[in-house]
Structure 1
Amino acid sequence: MEYYAGIDIGSTMTKAVILAEEIVASVIGPTGPEHRRLANKVMEEALRRAGLALESITYITSTQPATAE
């Protein structure tokens, strides 16, 4: 089975999801100034909940907050 992951770093919440045919695990946490650390934290927790290792993930995509000009 192939697993896919997504990380969304929003202005107030950071979210991670792991999917196969359906959602396998998801995590929501607060966003702060250390985006990389927070992204790693929610992904590690999603992997833990799914019972998977990072090497099991076929593809990871992410978003990050941006400011409009």
Structure 2
Amino acid sequence: MGSFSIWHWLIVLVIVLLLFGKGKISDVMGDMAKGVKSFKKGLADEDETPAKPAGSTLDHKPADVVNATTDEKSRAS
């Protein structure tokens, strides 16, 4: 029940070739190779980006306008 002999695998291969054809299988394998290459490229791109320090998840910027006191507000009006 465990493994198949070489004859079983040859028969399965012949059936697959008859159903899909040689060209279709090579197209599928080519598409799979392109997918693996783009996946590896994506992983390499992530490694090249500089990492932020662990504590700086937000970009803190100083406020542009300082709150005016009530005396300054009354002078402006």
Relative to the length of structure 2, the TM-score reads: 0.25
The structure in which a higher percent of residues are strand is 1
Higher normalized contact order (CA 8 Å, seq sep 6+, divided by chain length)? 1
Relative to the length of structure 1, the TM-score reads: 0.28
The structure that has the greater radius of gyration is 2
